[in-house]
Amino acid sequence: MFLRRVRNPTGGEVKVRDYFDHCLAHPKVEPYLYFDPRSLPLAAWQEIWSGVVPERTVSEIDLFRYDLLFLAGRDWELLPEPPGKIVINLIQGVRHANPDLPRLFALLKNFAYRICVSRQVLEAIAPHAVGPAMVIRNGIPLDQCTPHAARVRGSVLIAAHKRPEFGMELCERLTLKGIAATAAVAWMPRREFLMRLATAEIFVGLPYQEEGFYLPALEAMANGCAVICADAIGNRDFCIPSQTCLQPRHDDPEDHVEAVEALAEDASLRERIRTAGIAMARGYSLDSERDAFHRLLDSLLQ
């Protein structure tokens, strides 16, 4: 049983849906979904979880019916008592290891088999987590990415839904310089976001200072954008400064503007960053993520 309690549509929720689909693809596992209806607008939930047949959803938490529980974030709080079941816990942020966030930090003391979406997440939680922990790197749907699509010349897409004010300021600065920039400040479904990436020459990601992974930058690489993205801890294995991306200082709008100008004005630099990003993204497939998760499921079933 997957237990979900979320407040806003996020890339993290998309990843939980990916793991639900991985369970559907396993021959010995039957996944079911319990969703707290008070925690998210229905339309957003329907978009991310579209295609799940009604028979796979349940309206109550009946722990006796299930052998495995899949939890992410603060889903633990939905359990009325220690579950007495095998728990798979997906950890998608380094902030889980921060004692100043006691509601998250305390959950690491619950025994579980933990999946960390990056090496940096594992390193952060390992001193505190009770139970085995492993890395399964986030995968992306490479078959939905179009790295060789026709692009709008000089176009810049800014992913600003996490930092809308910074994104709008950056967009205004670029527009004043005659650069065709667009700031995406609202949540977009995955397919729509990938389609937007397929037409942009340059992508600017605006992550939080601490992320467990930061999918948009990797998805932009897979789609053939030249990527600009600040350091966010969890993106360090694929956002390699001056190789797969340009990396401005996190809170410096002028540094971001200069990075955009560098890529816009230097075709050879833009192509070098773009090509390296495509090659990097090819190592992060959903199939690889699924295979690794299935190996974990097989070990638990034994």
Contact 227, 221 (CB under 8 A): yes
Q: How buried is residue 254: exposed, middle or buried, by Cβ count under 10 Å (0-12/13-18/19+)?
A: exposed
2-139+285-301 has which CATH code?
3.40.50
For domain 142-281, say whether CATH 3.40.50.2000 is its number: yes
Q: What CA–CA distance (Å, rounded) separates 2 from 12?
A: 14
Q: What was the pLDDT predicted at 68?
A: 95
Q: What was the pLDDT predicted at 244?
A: 98
Contact 109, 130 (CB under 8 A): yes
Q: What was the pLDDT predicted at 15?
A: 96
- Same fold: 2-139+285-301 with 142-281: yes
Task: Taking residues 58-74, report their average pLDDT.
Answer: 92
Q: What was the pLDDT predicted at 22?
A: 98
- Position 38 pLDDT exceeds 90: no
β-strands 202-205, 133-135 pairing: unpaired
Which neighbouring-strand residues pair with 132? none
Tell me the residue type at 296: L
- Position 41 pLDDT exceeds 70: no
Q: What was the pLDDT predicted at 82?
A: 74
Q: What was the pLDDT predicted at 130?
A: 96
Tell me the per-residue pLDDT of 217-236, one tens digit each, with 9 for 90 and over: 999 999 999 999 999 999 99
Domains of the chain, by residue range, sit at 2-139+285-301, 142-281
Tell me the per-residue pLDDT of 130-176, one tens digit each, with 9 for 90 and over: 999 999 999 999 999 999 888 999 999 999 999 999 999 999 999 99
Residue of 3, 27, 10 whose CA lies nearest to 290: 27
Tell me the per-residue pLDDT of 79-94, one tens digit each, with 9 for 90 and over: 877 788 999 999 999 9
The band of 43, judged by pLDDT with boundaries at 50, 70 and 90, is: low
**What's the DSSP call for residue 224?**
T
- Position 11 pLDDT exceeds 90: no
pTM for this model (two decimals): 0.95
- Position 184 pLDDT exceeds 90: yes
